[in-house]
Amino acid sequence: MLPRVHVVLPDDETRRAEAPTGVFHALNIHEQREANEDGGDIFTGEELPRHAGANAPNATFRIRYGQPRADGTYGYTYYDAAGLWRWARSSRRDPKNNPWFYEDWMQLRNRYEPDFQIPNWVDALPRLGSDGQVYETRRLPMGGLAYYDTTYEPERHIKTEFINHTYYYRHLPATGIDVLDRIVYEDEFVPVGSQPAELPGSTQYFRMRHGDPQLQKWRSNLWTRNYVDSGGPRPRLKSEIHDSGMRKLYAWIDMTPAGEEYLELVEFVAPSLHAGEEWHYDGFKDREALRQILYPNMQRDFFAGDKGQEYKVRSVIPVPGATDTEYTTQFAISLHYQGAKGQERLHMIEDAQGRKTYF
Protein backbone atom coordinates (compact mmCIF):
# COMPACT_ATOMS: atom_id res chain seq x y z
CA MET A 1 0.00 0.00 0.00
CA LEU A 2 1.26 3.44 -0.87
CA PRO A 3 2.04 5.88 1.96
CA ARG A 4 -0.48 8.57 2.69
CA VAL A 5 -0.05 11.70 0.55
CA HIS A 6 -0.87 15.04 2.11
CA VAL A 7 -2.85 17.53 0.02
CA VAL A 8 -2.54 21.22 0.85
CA LEU A 9 -5.67 23.19 0.05
CA PRO A 10 -5.37 26.99 -0.07
CA ASP A 11 -7.39 28.92 2.46
CA ASP A 12 -8.03 32.65 2.62
CA GLU A 13 -4.57 33.32 4.07
CA THR A 14 -2.55 31.18 1.69
CA ARG A 15 -4.74 31.47 -1.39
CA ARG A 16 -2.69 31.70 -4.57
CA ALA A 17 -3.25 31.83 -8.28
CA GLU A 18 -4.35 28.48 -9.64
CA ALA A 19 -1.36 26.95 -11.40
CA PRO A 20 -1.40 24.85 -14.52
CA THR A 21 0.02 21.35 -14.50
CA GLY A 22 3.73 20.83 -15.04
CA VAL A 23 4.93 23.14 -12.25
CA PHE A 24 8.03 22.99 -10.12
CA HIS A 25 6.69 24.71 -7.04
CA ALA A 26 8.64 26.19 -4.13
CA LEU A 27 6.61 25.58 -0.98
CA ASN A 28 5.77 28.52 1.24
CA ILE A 29 5.92 28.24 5.01
CA HIS A 30 2.28 27.14 5.37
CA GLU A 31 2.53 24.48 2.65
CA GLN A 32 5.79 23.15 4.05
CA ARG A 33 4.49 22.85 7.61
CA GLU A 34 1.28 21.06 6.66
CA ALA A 35 3.01 18.72 4.20
CA ASN A 36 5.70 17.72 6.67
CA GLU A 37 3.20 17.23 9.49
CA ASP A 38 1.61 14.62 7.26
CA GLY A 39 4.81 12.63 6.75
CA GLY A 40 6.96 14.69 4.41
CA ASP A 41 8.27 13.19 1.18
CA ILE A 42 6.25 10.18 0.08
CA PHE A 43 9.35 8.35 -1.17
CA THR A 44 11.87 8.92 1.65
CA GLY A 45 9.82 10.16 4.57
CA GLU A 46 12.14 13.15 4.87
CA GLU A 47 10.81 16.66 5.31
CA LEU A 48 10.06 18.63 2.18
CA PRO A 49 12.11 21.84 1.94
CA ARG A 50 10.82 25.36 1.67
CA HIS A 51 11.64 27.70 -1.27
CA ALA A 52 13.13 24.89 -3.39
CA GLY A 53 12.37 25.98 -6.96
CA ALA A 54 12.99 24.22 -10.24
CA ASN A 55 16.74 24.83 -10.28
CA ALA A 56 17.32 23.72 -6.71
CA PRO A 57 18.96 20.29 -6.17
CA ASN A 58 16.10 19.40 -3.80
CA ALA A 59 13.32 20.92 -5.97
CA THR A 60 9.70 20.21 -5.12
CA PHE A 61 6.92 19.56 -7.62
CA ARG A 62 3.16 19.76 -7.37
CA ILE A 63 0.45 17.91 -9.28
CA ARG A 64 -2.97 19.45 -9.70
CA TYR A 65 -6.15 17.54 -9.00
CA GLY A 66 -7.88 16.45 -12.18
CA GLN A 67 -11.24 17.89 -11.13
CA PRO A 68 -12.04 21.14 -9.30
CA ARG A 69 -13.62 21.46 -5.90
CA ALA A 70 -17.15 22.75 -5.44
CA ASP A 71 -15.93 26.37 -5.46
CA GLY A 72 -14.11 25.88 -8.76
CA THR A 73 -10.57 25.94 -7.33
CA TYR A 74 -8.11 23.05 -7.34
CA GLY A 75 -6.03 21.25 -4.74
CA TYR A 76 -2.44 20.07 -5.20
CA THR A 77 -0.24 17.20 -4.08
CA TYR A 78 3.44 17.94 -3.33
CA TYR A 79 6.48 15.73 -4.00
CA ASP A 80 10.23 15.69 -4.08
CA ALA A 81 10.71 16.30 -7.80
CA ALA A 82 13.68 13.97 -8.37
CA GLY A 83 11.94 11.12 -6.59
CA LEU A 84 8.78 11.80 -8.55
CA TRP A 85 10.70 11.49 -11.82
CA ARG A 86 12.20 8.14 -10.78
CA TRP A 87 8.64 6.99 -10.25
CA ALA A 88 7.34 8.56 -13.45
CA ARG A 89 9.91 7.10 -15.86
CA SER A 90 8.52 3.58 -15.34
CA SER A 91 4.93 4.12 -14.20
CA ARG A 92 1.88 5.10 -16.22
CA ARG A 93 0.19 6.57 -13.14
CA ASP A 94 1.23 9.05 -10.50
CA PRO A 95 1.78 7.96 -6.86
CA LYS A 96 -1.93 8.53 -6.16
CA ASN A 97 -2.77 6.01 -8.90
CA ASN A 98 -4.19 8.69 -11.21
CA PRO A 99 -3.15 9.08 -14.84
CA TRP A 100 -0.33 11.56 -15.28
CA PHE A 101 -0.97 14.88 -16.87
CA TYR A 102 1.06 15.00 -20.05
CA GLU A 103 2.54 18.36 -19.01
CA ASP A 104 3.68 16.96 -15.64
CA TRP A 105 5.41 13.94 -17.10
CA MET A 106 7.20 15.98 -19.78
CA GLN A 107 8.32 18.69 -17.33
CA LEU A 108 9.93 16.08 -15.09
CA ARG A 109 11.65 14.36 -18.02
CA ASN A 110 12.95 17.64 -19.43
CA ARG A 111 14.39 18.59 -16.05
CA TYR A 112 16.04 15.31 -15.02
CA GLU A 113 16.52 13.14 -18.09
CA PRO A 114 15.85 15.05 -21.33
CA ASP A 115 17.32 12.28 -23.49
CA PHE A 116 15.01 9.64 -22.01
CA GLN A 117 13.04 7.95 -24.81
CA ILE A 118 9.39 8.93 -24.50
CA PRO A 119 7.14 5.84 -24.28
CA ASN A 120 4.21 5.66 -26.70
CA TRP A 121 1.66 5.80 -23.87
CA VAL A 122 2.80 9.29 -22.84
CA ASP A 123 1.34 10.84 -26.00
CA ALA A 124 -2.16 9.72 -24.96
CA LEU A 125 -2.03 11.17 -21.44
CA PRO A 126 -4.67 13.75 -20.43
CA ARG A 127 -3.65 17.33 -21.20
CA LEU A 128 -4.61 20.67 -19.78
CA GLY A 129 -6.28 23.09 -22.17
CA SER A 130 -5.80 26.85 -22.15
CA ASP A 131 -9.20 27.09 -20.44
CA GLY A 132 -7.95 25.02 -17.49
CA GLN A 133 -10.03 21.99 -18.44
CA VAL A 134 -8.40 18.55 -18.57
CA TYR A 135 -8.88 16.74 -21.87
CA GLU A 136 -8.27 13.20 -23.01
CA THR A 137 -6.09 12.96 -26.12
CA ARG A 138 -5.86 10.42 -28.93
CA ARG A 139 -3.33 10.22 -31.73
CA LEU A 140 -5.09 10.03 -35.09
CA PRO A 141 -3.92 7.92 -38.07
CA MET A 142 -3.12 11.06 -40.11
CA GLY A 143 -0.84 12.30 -37.35
CA GLY A 144 -3.06 14.80 -35.54
CA LEU A 145 -3.63 14.84 -31.79
CA ALA A 146 -7.33 15.04 -30.92
CA TYR A 147 -8.60 16.54 -27.63
CA TYR A 148 -11.87 15.34 -26.07
CA ASP A 149 -13.91 16.55 -23.11
CA THR A 150 -15.10 13.35 -21.45
CA THR A 151 -17.11 15.11 -18.75
CA TYR A 152 -19.99 15.09 -21.26
CA GLU A 153 -22.00 12.10 -22.44
CA PRO A 154 -21.32 11.57 -25.23
CA GLU A 155 -17.85 13.11 -25.15
CA ARG A 156 -17.18 16.30 -27.11
CA HIS A 157 -14.45 16.86 -29.67
CA ILE A 158 -12.65 20.09 -28.70
CA LYS A 159 -9.73 20.40 -31.12
CA THR A 160 -7.18 18.50 -33.18
CA GLU A 161 -3.57 19.68 -33.33
CA PHE A 162 -1.28 19.13 -36.30
CA ILE A 163 2.31 20.26 -36.77
CA ASN A 164 1.52 23.75 -38.02
CA HIS A 165 -2.24 24.19 -37.63
CA THR A 166 -5.10 23.35 -35.27
CA TYR A 167 -8.73 22.45 -36.00
CA TYR A 168 -11.23 23.81 -33.43
CA TYR A 169 -14.76 22.45 -33.08
CA ARG A 170 -17.99 23.75 -31.54
CA HIS A 171 -20.90 21.77 -30.16
CA LEU A 172 -24.40 22.11 -31.64
CA PRO A 173 -26.91 21.32 -28.86
CA ALA A 174 -29.80 20.96 -31.31
CA THR A 175 -28.13 18.08 -33.13
CA GLY A 176 -25.72 16.86 -30.46
CA ILE A 177 -22.77 16.88 -32.88
CA ASP A 178 -19.44 18.68 -32.88
CA VAL A 179 -18.76 20.68 -36.04
CA LEU A 180 -15.70 22.38 -37.46
CA ASP A 181 -15.55 26.00 -36.31
CA ARG A 182 -12.14 27.29 -37.44
CA ILE A 183 -8.62 26.32 -38.47
CA VAL A 184 -5.73 28.34 -37.06
CA TYR A 185 -2.34 28.25 -38.77
CA GLU A 186 0.60 28.77 -36.41
CA ASP A 187 3.30 28.56 -39.11
CA GLU A 188 3.68 29.02 -42.84
CA PHE A 189 1.28 26.62 -44.54
CA VAL A 190 0.73 25.74 -48.21
CA PRO A 191 -2.76 24.21 -48.57
CA VAL A 192 -3.80 21.76 -51.25
CA GLY A 193 -4.97 23.23 -54.54
CA SER A 194 -4.47 26.64 -56.04
CA GLN A 195 -4.66 28.65 -52.82
CA PRO A 196 -1.48 30.66 -52.16
CA ALA A 197 0.77 30.08 -49.18
CA GLU A 198 -0.92 31.24 -45.99
CA LEU A 199 0.75 33.45 -43.43
CA PRO A 200 1.36 32.52 -39.80
CA GLY A 201 -1.66 33.47 -37.74
CA SER A 202 -4.18 32.86 -40.54
CA THR A 203 -7.60 31.63 -39.42
CA GLN A 204 -10.28 29.90 -41.49
CA TYR A 205 -13.83 30.18 -40.13
CA PHE A 206 -16.50 27.63 -41.02
CA ARG A 207 -20.25 27.32 -40.70
CA MET A 208 -22.62 24.41 -41.21
CA ARG A 209 -24.87 23.90 -44.22
CA HIS A 210 -26.95 20.73 -44.36
CA GLY A 211 -24.50 19.05 -41.99
CA ASP A 212 -21.40 19.90 -44.02
CA PRO A 213 -18.88 22.59 -43.04
CA GLN A 214 -18.56 25.51 -45.41
CA LEU A 215 -15.86 28.12 -45.38
CA GLN A 216 -17.28 31.50 -44.40
CA LYS A 217 -14.24 33.65 -43.70
CA TRP A 218 -10.46 33.32 -43.86
CA ARG A 219 -8.54 35.89 -41.87
CA SER A 220 -4.80 36.41 -41.59
CA ASN A 221 -2.64 39.09 -40.07
CA LEU A 222 -2.76 40.87 -43.46
CA TRP A 223 -6.13 40.10 -45.07
CA THR A 224 -9.62 38.67 -44.68
CA ARG A 225 -11.36 36.45 -47.25
CA ASN A 226 -15.16 36.34 -47.27
CA TYR A 227 -17.20 33.53 -48.78
CA VAL A 228 -20.85 33.02 -49.76
CA ASP A 229 -23.01 29.96 -50.18
CA SER A 230 -22.78 28.39 -53.63
CA GLY A 231 -25.66 25.95 -53.20
CA GLY A 232 -23.14 23.12 -53.31
CA PRO A 233 -20.60 21.55 -50.97
CA ARG A 234 -18.06 24.36 -51.48
CA PRO A 235 -18.59 28.10 -50.91
CA ARG A 236 -17.66 30.84 -53.36
CA LEU A 237 -14.94 33.42 -52.74
CA LYS A 238 -16.62 36.84 -52.67
CA SER A 239 -13.94 39.27 -51.54
CA GLU A 240 -10.46 39.59 -50.10
CA ILE A 241 -9.80 42.66 -47.95
CA HIS A 242 -6.21 43.59 -47.13
CA ASP A 243 -5.08 45.66 -44.18
CA SER A 244 -2.97 47.64 -46.65
CA GLY A 245 -6.16 49.18 -48.09
CA MET A 246 -6.70 46.85 -51.07
CA ARG A 247 -10.12 45.20 -51.58
CA LYS A 248 -10.45 42.46 -54.21
CA LEU A 249 -13.94 41.63 -55.48
CA TYR A 250 -14.69 38.39 -57.31
CA ALA A 251 -17.46 37.33 -59.70
CA TRP A 252 -18.64 34.08 -61.27
CA ILE A 253 -20.94 32.67 -63.93
CA ASP A 254 -24.10 30.94 -62.74
CA MET A 255 -24.02 27.15 -62.94
CA THR A 256 -20.24 27.05 -62.80
CA PRO A 257 -18.78 25.15 -59.82
CA ALA A 258 -17.43 26.92 -56.77
CA GLY A 259 -13.73 27.60 -57.09
CA GLU A 260 -14.07 29.17 -60.55
CA GLU A 261 -14.51 32.71 -59.24
CA TYR A 262 -12.50 35.30 -61.14
CA LEU A 263 -11.12 38.68 -60.11
CA GLU A 264 -13.35 41.47 -61.39
CA LEU A 265 -12.45 44.61 -59.46
CA VAL A 266 -9.79 45.90 -57.06
CA GLU A 267 -10.65 48.92 -54.95
CA PHE A 268 -8.13 50.90 -52.90
CA VAL A 269 -8.72 52.90 -49.73
CA ALA A 270 -6.41 54.44 -47.12
CA PRO A 271 -3.70 53.67 -46.12
CA SER A 272 -2.91 52.46 -49.64
CA LEU A 273 -0.94 54.85 -51.86
CA HIS A 274 -3.58 54.06 -54.53
CA ALA A 275 -6.49 55.18 -52.32
CA GLY A 276 -9.50 56.16 -54.43
CA GLU A 277 -8.47 54.11 -57.47
CA GLU A 278 -10.46 51.26 -59.08
CA TRP A 279 -8.73 48.60 -61.14
CA HIS A 280 -11.05 46.65 -63.46
CA TYR A 281 -10.20 43.19 -64.81
CA ASP A 282 -11.56 40.92 -67.55
CA GLY A 283 -11.18 37.18 -68.09
CA PHE A 284 -11.97 33.92 -66.34
CA LYS A 285 -10.10 32.46 -63.37
CA ASP A 286 -6.31 32.49 -63.71
CA ARG A 287 -6.62 34.58 -66.89
CA GLU A 288 -7.83 37.88 -65.45
CA ALA A 289 -6.12 40.79 -67.18
CA LEU A 290 -6.12 44.46 -66.18
CA ARG A 291 -8.31 46.45 -68.56
CA GLN A 292 -8.94 49.83 -66.92
CA ILE A 293 -7.84 52.00 -64.01
CA LEU A 294 -10.19 54.73 -62.79
CA TYR A 295 -8.59 57.52 -60.74
CA PRO A 296 -10.26 59.89 -58.22
CA ASN A 297 -10.04 62.78 -60.71
CA MET A 298 -11.98 60.60 -63.24
CA GLN A 299 -8.92 59.96 -65.38
CA ARG A 300 -9.10 56.54 -67.01
CA ASP A 301 -6.19 54.42 -68.21
CA PHE A 302 -7.02 51.59 -70.65
CA PHE A 303 -4.94 48.43 -71.13
CA ALA A 304 -4.67 45.53 -73.55
CA GLY A 305 -2.77 42.23 -73.54
CA ASP A 306 -2.91 38.96 -71.63
CA LYS A 307 -2.57 38.59 -67.88
CA GLY A 308 0.85 39.66 -66.72
CA GLN A 309 1.61 41.36 -70.05
CA GLU A 310 -0.91 44.21 -69.96
CA TYR A 311 0.25 47.40 -71.66
CA LYS A 312 -1.32 50.84 -71.60
CA VAL A 313 -2.99 51.88 -74.84
CA ARG A 314 -4.82 55.06 -73.86
CA SER A 315 -5.33 57.59 -71.09
CA VAL A 316 -8.46 59.75 -71.03
CA ILE A 317 -8.05 62.91 -68.94
CA PRO A 318 -11.19 65.03 -68.30
CA VAL A 319 -11.00 68.76 -68.93
CA PRO A 320 -11.87 71.16 -66.08
CA GLY A 321 -15.63 71.18 -65.42
CA ALA A 322 -16.37 67.78 -66.94
CA THR A 323 -18.62 65.42 -64.98
CA ASP A 324 -18.93 61.67 -65.03
CA THR A 325 -22.34 61.89 -66.73
CA GLU A 326 -20.88 63.84 -69.67
CA TYR A 327 -17.71 61.86 -69.91
CA THR A 328 -17.15 61.81 -73.70
CA THR A 329 -14.25 62.72 -75.95
CA GLN A 330 -15.54 66.30 -76.25
CA PHE A 331 -14.94 66.77 -72.53
CA ALA A 332 -11.57 65.03 -72.31
CA ILE A 333 -8.09 64.79 -73.71
CA SER A 334 -6.96 61.37 -74.97
CA LEU A 335 -3.35 60.22 -74.87
CA HIS A 336 -2.62 57.18 -77.09
CA TYR A 337 0.34 54.89 -76.52
CA GLN A 338 2.22 52.21 -78.43
CA GLY A 339 4.63 49.55 -77.22
CA ALA A 340 4.78 46.45 -75.04
CA LYS A 341 4.43 46.46 -71.26
CA GLY A 342 7.02 48.71 -69.69
CA GLN A 343 7.96 50.12 -73.09
CA GLU A 344 4.87 52.20 -73.86
CA ARG A 345 5.55 55.52 -75.56
CA LEU A 346 3.23 58.39 -76.34
CA HIS A 347 2.02 58.06 -79.94
CA MET A 348 -0.74 60.66 -80.29
CA ILE A 349 -2.69 63.27 -78.34
CA GLU A 350 -6.29 64.14 -79.18
CA ASP A 351 -7.69 67.24 -77.52
CA ALA A 352 -11.30 67.97 -76.55
CA GLN A 353 -11.97 69.56 -79.96
CA GLY A 354 -10.78 66.49 -81.83
CA ARG A 355 -7.44 67.89 -82.94
CA LYS A 356 -4.71 65.24 -83.11
CA THR A 357 -1.01 65.58 -82.60
CA TYR A 358 1.28 62.68 -83.54
CA PHE A 359 4.73 61.88 -82.19
What does the alpha-carbon distance between residue 63 and residue 109 come to, in Å, rounded to a whole number?
A: 15
Q: What is the pLDDT of residue 21?
A: 59
Q: What is the pLDDT of residue 150?
A: 85
Q: What is the pLDDT of residue 324?
A: 52
What does the alpha-carbon distance between residue 271 and residue 139 come to, in Å, rounded to a whole number?
A: 46
Q: What is the pLDDT of residue 283?
A: 95
Could you give the maximum distance between any two Cα atoms of the chain, in Å?
A: 107
Closest to 84 measured CA to CA, from 58, 66, 65, 51: 58
What does the alpha-carbon distance between residue 135 and residue 150 come to, in Å, rounded to a whole number?
A: 7
Q: What is the pLDDT of residue 114?
A: 93
pTM: 0.62
- Beta strand 212-219 with 203-209 is antiparallel
Other Cβ atoms within 10 Å of 278 Cβ, number? 17
Q: What is the pLDDT of residue 176?
A: 87
Cis peptide before 154 (omega within 30 of 0): yes
Please list the pLDDT of the chain residue by residue as tens digits (359 residues): 333 333 333 333 333 334 455 578 888 998 888 888 878 888 888 899 988 888 889 998 988 776 777 887 777 888 999 999 999 998 999 888 888 888 889 999 999 999 999 998 888 888 877 676 778 888 888 788 899 988 888 999 999 988 888 999 999 888 888 999 999 888 765 554 445 556 777 888 988 877 778 888 988 878 899 998 887 777 899 999 999 999 999 999 988 888 899 999 999 999 999 999 999 999 999 999 999 999 998 899 999 999 999 999 999 998 776 555 554 445 789 999 999 999 999 999 998 788 899 99
Identify the bridge partners of residue 294 per DSSP, sorted by sequence position: 278, 300
Closest to 264 measured CA to CA, from 237, 295, 233, 302: 237
